[in-house]
């Protein structure tokens, strides 16, 4: 059955005749929407222009860091982010931990399932809003009705049998459904980018936890040796005090130093154990199944680190892309709120058979059908429609500000990581030179003690200085490895990976909504911010006549 649909130019004058008292704002919006395209239906969904500074930090970035432990990191300006950046540490054990975490993390699995749910919701909404709905129904009833006393029995018993197909379709004249579909599609895009951000954050957290745990394990071992040395010093001071070779003050000072150092050990062990437990949970394990600690010496510091230029960072950071998708969704929701102020046209049709018995129902005389159309123009809703549009606009403005804040925070994140790497190199270089010098002094002192030229206490004191210098070197080594991982994370996702993340959403229609093909894939057909095609110059003329008619009626 083919139904002729009236064109919008003919509908607007009808709406003006049916509702001459409609608000002037509605007619004005119709005129503006017809003449200015989508400018009054929805604001632009393009992200606001952001500054593109020459460099991230307060000072220009050097070409490379200072050389520490024989390694100077080079900043590769303008390079793309590295996909599997943790492999640059050249540690198979570290690679295995990251792979395990990405495979078994409940947090990542929950995010993936949430994205799948959002895709299915989008499929459902597009199917229900852009395609007709067809239903089949049947009815079999037996009724007892009152008759007319003068012409027959006072009651009548009869049967009714009916079966029919019903179809209904709401024309998306002003794009309300398309705007709603686009808004939900952008929410799916946002979920896809958030999933990618979660995945990269998980990898960075695993690397950070593994490096931190390795560094803490070495710090605990070094501190335990320092405690042993301090106890020996205290025992030696006590023995000398008993012999009269040392004062009571010297003995007490040695005991106090040993006790203070011993008191710092439980807190360090607690930090180490907490880090191991956190790493186990990141891997999807229980804390009792925490992996064995890696060795800092088994991890190689990446010598080349990418530095994405600020303008490109807007496309590589998943959090920025998620904020952009949220902004675009908010813009489309303004279009939804605007379109709801305009007329809605619905079509319905049904066909089937009915009768008082089965033979009559199945005969040609039992055929029934109906065709109808309804046009609804909002007139008065207590200001709700205008308030909803203002609320949608305020939400859009907030999304714009949130996008700006996300970009600024991303710039700060990169600037902080770059500064940290530069400073880490200087700190590690100094601590390494200190540890090397302290080790040389300890070796010389130990040799003289073995020759009898110095007492054993001199070797203990020299070793204490070396162990303290070694503690600083361990901390600086771990900090440099951790900050390198954080910089890789701050660079975001390579553009190809970012495209894949969005294509994963688009596979289920996370783009401008369009039609659905036979296998259920959603094909994009509406461009961002495009005005509904039915609003043309003739519609503008009709809207203007409607506005004049309304003014005359007032």
Residues 235, 152, single domain; the answer is: yes
pLDDT confidence of residue 316: 94
Residues 419, 440, single domain; the answer is: yes
pLDDT confidence of residue 513: 37
- pLDDT, tens digit, for every residue of 242-273? 998 888 998 999 999 999 999 999 999 999 99
Per-residue pLDDT at 505 exceeds 50: no
Q: Which domain holds residue 151?
A: 38-534
Between residues 7 and 302, which one has the greater pLDDT?
302
Residues 33, 87, single domain; the answer is: no
Residues 450, 545, single domain; the answer is: no
Residues 554, 507, single domain; the answer is: no
- pLDDT, tens digit, for every residue of 509-519? 334 433 333 22
Per-residue pLDDT at 535 exceeds 70: no
pLDDT confidence of residue 136: 93
Residues 550, 449, single domain; the answer is: no
pLDDT confidence of residue 55: 86
Instruction: Confirm if 41 and 531 have CB atoms less than 8 A apart.
Output: yes
Per-residue pLDDT at 241 exceeds 70: yes
Q: How far is CA 217 from CA 212, 270, 326, 374, in A?
A: 8, 11, 43, 75
Give the bridge partners for 134, in sequence order: 167
Of 196-200, 352-356, 387-391, minimum mean pLDDT range? 352-356
Of the pLDDT bands very low, low, confident and very high (cuts 50, 70, 90), residue 154 is low
Residues 55, 25, single domain; the answer is: no
Between residues 466 and 361, which one has the greater pLDDT?
466
Residues 286, 323, single domain; the answer is: yes
Mean confidence (pLDDT) of the chain: 83
- φ, ψ of residue 408 to 5 degrees: the values are -60, -40
pLDDT confidence of residue 361: 76
Q: How far apart are CA 89 and CA 215, in angstroms?
A: 15
Between residues 231 and 513, which one has the greater pLDDT?
231
Q: What pTM was estimated for this model as a whole? A: 0.79
pLDDT confidence of residue 127: 92
Residues 523, 485, single domain; the answer is: yes
Q: How far is CA 521 from CA 72, 126, 506, in A?
A: 51, 11, 9
Residues 502, 482, single domain; the answer is: yes
Q: Which of 363, 369, 334 is nearest to 349 (CA)?
A: 369
Q: What is the CATH number of the domain that holds 337?
A: 1.20.1600.10
The dihedral region occupied by 522, where left means phi > 0, alpha psi between -120 and 50, and beta the remainder, is beta
Number of domains forming the structure of the chain: 2
Average pLDDT over residues 481-508: 73
Per-residue pLDDT at 554 exceeds 70: no
Cα–chain-centroid distance for residue 367?
56
Residues 335, 256, single domain; the answer is: yes
Average pLDDT over residues 208-232: 96
Q: How far apart are CA 408 and CA 402, in angstroms?
A: 10
Q: Which H or E run includes 8?
A: helix 8-18
The sign one gets for the Cα dihedral 280, 416, 316, 408 is positive
- φ, ψ of residue 528 to 5 degrees: the values are -65, 125
Give the bridge partners for 348, in sequence order: 168, 372
Rounded to 5°, angle at Cα 367 from 364 and 370: 155
Strands 515-516 and 522-523, by their bridges, are: antiparallel
Residues 28, 99, single domain; the answer is: no
- What is the DSSP secondary-structure string of 109-132? HHHHHHHHHHHHHHHHHHHHHHS-
pLDDT confidence of residue 515: 33
Per-residue pLDDT at 19 exceeds 50: no
pLDDT confidence of residue 149: 60
pLDDT confidence of residue 24: 40
Per-residue pLDDT at 157 exceeds 70: yes
């Amino acid at each position: 059955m083919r139904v002729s649909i009236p064109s919008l130019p003919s509908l607007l004058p009808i709406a003006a005749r049916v509702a001459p008292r409609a608000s002037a704002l509605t007619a004005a919006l119709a005129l503006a929407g017809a003449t200015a395209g989508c400018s009054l239906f929805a604001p632009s969904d393009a992200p606001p222009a952001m500054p593109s500074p020459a460099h991230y930090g307060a000072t220009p970035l050097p070409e490379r860091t200072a050389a520490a432990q024989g390694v100077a990191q080079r900043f590769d300006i303008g390079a793309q982010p590295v996909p599997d950046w943790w492999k640059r540490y050249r540690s198979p054990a570290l690679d295995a931990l990251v792979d395990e975490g990405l495979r078994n993390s409940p947090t990542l699995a929950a995010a993936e399932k949430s994205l799948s749910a959002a895709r299915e919701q989008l499929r459902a909404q597009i199917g229900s809003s852009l395609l007709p709905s067809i239903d089949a129904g049947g009815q079999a009833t037996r009724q007892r009705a009152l008759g007319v006393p003068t012409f027959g029995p006072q009651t009548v018993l009869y049967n009714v049998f009916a079966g029919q197909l019903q179809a209904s379709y709401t024309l998306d004249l002003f794009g309300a459904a398309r705007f709603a579909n686009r808004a939900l599609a952008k929410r799916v895009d946002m979920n896809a980018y958030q999933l990618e951000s979660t995945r990269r954050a998980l990898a960075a957290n695993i690397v950070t936890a593994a490096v931190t745990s390795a560094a803490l394990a070495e710090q605990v071992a070094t501190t335990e040796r320092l405690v042993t040395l301090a106890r020996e010093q205290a025992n030696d001071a006590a023995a000398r005090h008993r012999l009269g070779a040392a004062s009571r003050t010297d003995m007490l000072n040695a005991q106090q130093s040993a006790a203070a150092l011993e008191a710092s050990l439980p807190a360090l062990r607690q930090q180490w154990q907490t880090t191991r437990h956190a790493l186990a949970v990141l891997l999807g394990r229980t804390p009792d199944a925490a992996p064995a600690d890696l060795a800092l010496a088994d991890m190689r510091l990446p010598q080349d680190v990418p530095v994405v230029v600020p303008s490109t960072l807007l496309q590589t950071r998943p959090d920025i892309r998620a904020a952009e998708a949220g902004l675009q969704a908010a813009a489309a929701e303004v279009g939804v709120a605007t379109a709801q102020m305009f007329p809605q046209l619905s079509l319905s049709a049904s066909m089937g058979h009915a009768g008082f018995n089965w033979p009559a129902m199945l005969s040609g005389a039992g055929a029934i059908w109906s065709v109808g159309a309804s046009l609804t123009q909002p007139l008065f809703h207590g200001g709700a429609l205008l308030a909803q549009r203002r609320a949608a606009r305020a939400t859009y403005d907030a999304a714009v500000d949130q996008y700006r804040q996300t970009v600024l925070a991303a710039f700060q994140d990169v600037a902080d990581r770059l500064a940290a790497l530069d400073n880490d190199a200087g700190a590690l270089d100094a601590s390494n030179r200190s540890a090397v010098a302290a080790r040389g002094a300890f070796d010389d002192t130990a040799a003289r003690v073995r020759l009898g030229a110095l007492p054993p206490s001199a070797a203990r004191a020299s070793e204490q200085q070396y162990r303290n210098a070694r503690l600083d070197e361990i901390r600086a080594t771990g900090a440099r490895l951790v900050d390198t991982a954080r910089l890789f994370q701050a660079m975001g996702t390579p553009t190809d990976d970012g495209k894949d993340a969005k294509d994963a959403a688009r596979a289920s229609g996370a783009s401008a909504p369009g039609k659905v093909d036979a296998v259920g894939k959603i094909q994009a057909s509406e461009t961002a911010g495009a005005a509904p095609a039915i609003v043309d110059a003739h519609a503008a003329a009709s809207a203007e006549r409607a506005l004049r008619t309304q003014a005359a009626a007032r």
